[in-house]
Structure 1
Amino acid sequence: MSSYKKQSLGTKGGFTLLELLIVVSIIAILSVALVLVLNPAETLKKSRDAQRISDLSTIKTALGLYMTSTSTPYLGSASANTACKATPTTAYGTTGATVKLFYSLPTSAGTISDTTLDGSSVTTPASQSGTPSLTDGTGWIPVNFDTLTGGSPISNLPLDPVNAFATGDSVSTVSSASLIYRYACSQTPLAFEVDAQLESIAYTSSENKRTTDGGNNDNLYEVGTNLKILGTGTDF
C-alpha cells in the first residue's frame, strides 16, 4: 500500500471552527425563539389565573351547597348576617361599622384600614383571619361550612396563589391590582360575591375573563349569586 493511501486511511474527519460557530449560532437562535414562544413568565401567570378561576368556582359551589342545605344560612359570620350589606347596591359608606369586606390575607399581613373601599368611606372596611384557610367560620370567609351534615364540602378555603398586596398597595390603600381574593354578602336578597384579580395577558386581554363573567366590574373576575355586591371601581 502506498504511503498516500496509508495517510488517507489514517486521517479522520472533524468540524471546522466555522462549522462549530454556525451550529452554536443556530442553537442560540432556536433557544431565543423557544423562550419567546413559550414565555415562561406568562405561562406561570396563566397557570395561576387558571387556579384562581378554579378556586372561585370551588368557593361558589361550597357556598351554594351551604345555602341550600341550611335552614338559616349565615353569610356574614358564623351566627349572623350583620356583616352583609342590606342590599347588593347599598353603598358601603352608608352601612355602618358592622358591614365588612373580607379578604384572603392573613392578619399577619397587617389589618386592612383602607377607608375608601368601594369608592366610599367605610368605618370597618375589611376583615381578615389569622388562619384564613379554616372552614369553621373563623377563616377568611366567615361561613361555618363545618355545620353541614357530613361536614364541610371543602377541606380548606382556597387562597390566592400569590395572596399579597400589589406594588404600591398597603393596608391603608388596597386596589383591585392586589392579588388577593375578596368576599362580600348582602342580606336582601341573601347573596354573596367573590372576586379575584387575574394577571395573565391571555385572561385579561386576548380572552378577557373579567369582562365576560357577567359581573359589573371589568377590573376583577367575579362569581357569586349576585355580582353587584362589590362595586365597579378600582379601589377594593
Structure 2
Amino acid sequence: MPIIKRQITVAELLIALALILILAAVGSWALNPIERLKQGRDNQRISDLENLRKAVDLAISEGVPLTKTMGVPASSVSVGVTQAVDGTGWVGMNLSKQINTLPIDPSNSKTFIDVLSNAVTGEYQFISDGIYYVLRTHLEAEANKDYYSKDGNDNSWYEIGTAPGLSTYFGL
C-alpha cells in the first residue's frame, strides 16, 4: 500500500487561522480584563465603605460621639489626611476599638473615569453633621452603574450612611 502524503492547502491554513482569531476575539471580549480590573477595584470600594459603615455604627452604639465635619474630609492622601483611627484621620471619630486603620481608595488620589464617564479622583469621603453621616466614593465598572441611582439622591456618587437622602441632606 503506497503512503500518500497530504499537504495543507493555503485555504485550509487561512480557515484555521480565521477560526483561531475569532476564538481569540470572542475570548478577549468575554473576559474583558480591563472591566474585570475595574470591577475588582469597585468591589474593594464597596467592601471598604460597608465595613467602615459597620464600624461607625458600632462605635456610635458604644457611645462614641459622631463628630461634625468641616467641609468634606476625604481619604485622598493628596489632601494631607491620614488613615489613623483615633479621630485624627479622614473619619474624625475614634474608631480604634472597631478597626485598625481607615481604608483608602484603590486608586487613591489618581484620576479615573467613573461609570458616568466623568473624570473623578479616587477617594472616600465622610460627611457628618453630628447627627447623621454619609460615606461616599465613585465607582468605575459599568456593571455597577445602578449603584449610583439605588442609594441616596446624588446619582453621581455611591453613598451609604444614615443621612436621609444621603449626600443631598448636606446640600452636596
What TM-score, normalized by structure 2, do the two folds share?
A: 0.83
The alpha-carbon deviation at position 229 of structure 1 amounts to 5.7
Q: What corresponds to 1:63 in structure 2?
A: 56
**Equivalence for 2:121:** 178
CA distance in structure 2 between the aligned counterparts of 1:167 and 1:21, rounded to whole angstroms: 41
Q: Deviations over 1:170-196 (max 9, x none)?
A: xxxxx8832211111013xx2211011
SS at match of 1:157: coil
For structure 2, the 5+ residue unaligned runs are none
Give the match for residue 42 of structure 1: 35
1:217–1:232 Cα contact (<8 Å) kept: no
Question: In 2, distance between residues paired with 1:36 and 1:142?
Answer: 44
Alpha-carbon deviations, 1:88-124, whole Å to 9, x = none? xxxxxxxxxxx23110111xx2x4xxxxxxxxxxxxx
| 1:104 and 1:140 in contact (8 A); partners too | yes
> Is 1:218–1:232's contact at 8 Å kept on the other side of the alignment?
no
Secondary structure in 2 aligned to 1:180? coil
Query: Contact 1:103 / 1:140 at 8 angstroms: preserved in 2?
Result: yes
Report the Cα distance in structure 2 between the residues aligned to 1:46 and 1:199, rounded to whole angstroms: 7
Q: Which string of whole-angstrom CA distances, capped at 9 and with x for unpartnered residues, describes residues 151-170 of structure 1?
A: x32222111111224369xx
Aligned partners of 2:159 and 2:167 also within 8 Å = no
The CA deviation at 1:201 is: 1.2
More helix by share: 2
Residue of structure 1 in register with 2:20 after alignment: 27
Identity %: 30
| Mapped pair 1:159 → 2:104 | yes
Q: Size of the alignment, in residue pairs? A: 167
Q: Where does structure 1 lack aligned partners over 5 or more consecutive residues?
A: 84-98, 112-127, 147-151, 169-174
Q: CA deviation at 1:74?
A: 3.1
**Matched ranges for 1:82-97 at <5 A:** 83=69
Corresponding position of 2:158: 221
From the CA coordinates, give the structure whose radius of gyration is larger. 1
Matched, 1:75 2:46: no
The amino acid across from 1:101 in the alignment is: V
Matches within 5 A, 1:98-117: 99-106=70-77, 109=78, 111=79
1:19 Cα deviation after fit: 2.1
Amino acid at match of 2:17: V
Matches of 1:167 and 1:223, distance apart in 2: 21
CA spacing shift, 1:37–1:167, aligned 2, 3 Å: closer
Distance in 2 separating the partners of 1:45 and 1:21: 36
Superposition deviation, residue 75 in structure 1: 3.1
2:160 matched to 1:210? no
Residues 56 and 16 of structure 1: CA distance in aligned 2, closer, same or farther (over 3 Å): same
